[in-house]
Structure 1
Amino acid sequence: MEPRIVGTTMPILELTLTEGERIVAEGGDVSWLSPGFHLDTSTSHGSGGQGGFLGSLKRVLGGGQLFLTAYTAPAGGGSLAFAAQLPGTIRELRIDRSDNFMLQSGSYMASTGDVEISVGLQKKLGAGIFGGAGVVFQRLSGDGTAWVQLAGELVEYELQAGQSLLIHPGHLAMYRAEMTLEFATMKGIKNKFFGDSLFLAELHGPGHVWLQSMTPAKLAAAIEPYLPDRGSSNDS
């Protein structure tokens, strides 16, 4: 398998597979592919080779789809591509039994067959900054390679034992699963929309963390004034 990441602001992941090689992704996320691929959609994909409906439910709780699609290359091989859904960066992750990752819901793009995608963390933070929806992190485990899309520019930190970092949850793109994550209330900081105290994620080392400059919520808020008013009528 030969991966290639193309582009800058809106990158594309292109994967060239030899005969019989397989890649797993959420259904409908493929952007283009060469002819001949065998497609198999099932709840068992993305379960780290263990299968089972319970594994698929964990994936749904993590913000993923119940069904994933496996793309198997035909005789002579082939290629397929996945486009980023937001301006940002695509990263390749090597996953094994001792090196798992937690990533913000919606960041998963594709993986090899023995990578498990499941829920890693769900936290309800109240109406203050998330409208009551809270935050959800997916866990990538198993043994293989995965590709993830992260929003905006990335800043990386290596936290040592005893070090910690306070992060707005929307900017916490990814961190190593062995790190401890808690949530802290910042007293005296009022949310400009709801007047609640601000909740921040408190991540404790040792471990590596990836922070993203853009959040989907802030991007949506920035373009909302320019969207057509759905409540208006074009009737004369």
Structure 2
Amino acid sequence: MTDYEIIGNEVQYLEVKLKEGESAFVEPGHLIFRTPGTRLDTKSGGLRGAFSHMLAGSAVFLLKVEGPGSFGSAGFLPGKILRIDLTGNSVLAEFNAFLCMDSTISYSSKFAGIWQGMVGGEGLFLERFSGTGSLMLHGHGHVLKMDLADGEEIQAEMSHVLAFDETVQYSVSRIGGLKTMVLAGMEGEGLFFATMRGPGRVWLHTISLQQLAAKMVVRR
């Protein structure tokens, strides 16, 4: 079993220790270091998978790191690392959340829908992970976990949605009327909510890249 160690408190990074015969996949842009004993290879999801990953803004190829040895991985901004252990089920995640995963997990892209992609600010595709093993994601700020019962709903601002079980149904709706949308837009806040209906788990991160970028532009 792959040894994952999450290091740090407010700003976390991941150290992965691999034994002989063990391997893990990592997104190239999130690889910090590796020890000399490790071997690198590349993996893609074929032409269709590569095309959807390119449209999503994520890496077309993943690096396969083979043991023995270790490597480090981290997100681009301060935040928390989320470990999700899959047991034959599937989760969907925003395209820039992926850090690394066991080589036993399948990785593909799922079309989020024109409406969700256009208004959500996170692209037209979600990343889909399925199989058995550990998946490591990075959330900006703190990560909130919510367990929804069958039929239970929450509404989350679109750009704060980090990941959710594929059993969760979601749809996108506008926040309030025109006045609400205009005032919210002036503050650089999101204008649309995702309605998430259980059963299943939902993970949210407290810092939105979309809102952070808007604040930086305003302050300049």
1:103–1:173: 8 Å Cα contact kept in structure 2?
Answer: yes
Matched, 1:158 2:147: yes
CA spacing shift, 1:199–1:123, aligned 2, 3 Å:
farther
| 3-12 or 23-32, larger mean C-alpha shift | 23-32
Matches of 2:120 and 2:64, distance apart in 1? 37
Counterpart secondary structure, 2:76 = coil
The answer for the alignment partner of 1:184 in structure 2 is: 173
| 111-120 or 202-211, larger mean C-alpha shift | 111-120
Matches of 2:147 and 2:96, distance apart in 1? 24
> Which structure shows the bigger proportion of residues in helix conformation?
2
Match runs of 1:7-156 below 5 Å: 7-43=8-44, 47=45, 52-73=46-67, 77-97=68-88, 99-125=89-115, 130=121, 134=123, 136-156=125-145
What is the TM-score when the length of structure 2 is the normalising length? Answer: 0.85
1:32–1:82: 8 Å Cα contact kept in structure 2?
Answer: yes
Matches of 1:106 and 1:202, distance apart in 2? 21
1:202 CA drift (Å) = 0.8
| Aligned with 1:208 (options 198, 201, 208) | 201
The answer for the alignment partner of 1:172 in structure 2 is: 161
1:167-205 Cα deviation digits (max 9, x unpaired): 1111111111111111122332323338xx932111111
* Overall identity of the aligned pairs, in %: 25
What is the TM-score when the length of structure 1 is the normalising length? Answer: 0.79
1:198 maps to a residue whose letter is: L
Matches of 1:186 and 1:221, distance apart in 2? 18
Counterpart secondary structure, 1:101 = strand
- Gap runs ≥5 in structure 1: 228-236
Q: Rg bigger for which structure?
A: 1
2:196 maps to a residue whose letter is: L
CA spacing shift, 1:19–1:113, aligned 2, 3 Å:
same
1:51-101 Cα deviation digits (max 9, x unpaired): x4334334444442211111111xxx211100221111101111232x211
Q: State the aligned residue count.
A: 213
| 182-191 or 54-63, larger mean C-alpha shift | 54-63
1:92 maps to a residue whose letter is: R
2:133 maps to a residue whose letter is: G
| Aligned with 1:198 (options 191, 199, 202) | 191
Counterpart secondary structure, 1:144 = strand
